[in-house]
Amino acid sequence: MRADLVVTTYPGAIAQIVTNLLHNALVHAFPSGHVGTVILWIDRSTDGQVELGCGDDGVGIAPELLRRVYEPFFTTARGSGGSGLGLHIVHNLVTDLLCGTIRAESAPGRGARFTVRFPAHAEA
């Protein structure tokens, strides 16, 4: 990771993205008191974009659910406070406001990893 990474963008959007990714990991990756690790990172990618990520070593996401994680109101935690809007909001902030991309990777029992990429300098 580089200490000289400078980003000129929407700080509120970045805060919301990080908050939602962390919250999602804490709620879904470690059910029933399972203990694990969540890692956040930010770096400059080789093409000059910013890469922001969140990964965990939790229970993972089944393929049929992974395809739906950005759908509004889709949640596997409906009975325990999940609204199904967290990753939908993240997706919209990343793609619409930051003009970036988000990729989700996971497999059951192998944790989950979300990688967000966006331009280092937002257009005014």
Q: What is the pLDDT of residues 26-70, one digit of tens each?
A: 888 988 878 999 999 999 988 889 999 999 999 999 999 999 999
Query: What separation, in Å, do the N-terminal and C-terminal C-alpha atoms of the chain show?
Result: 27
Global pTM exceeds 0.75? yes
- 124's tokens: 């005014």
**Domain map of the chain by residue range?**
11-118
Instruction: Domain 11-118: give its CATH superfamily.
Output: Histidine kinase-like ATPase, C-terminal domain (3.30.565.10)
Digit-coded pLDDT (tens) for 6-19: 899 999 999 999 99
Number of residues that make up the chain:
124
Most trustworthy range by pLDDT among 3-12, 69-78, 111-120: 111-120
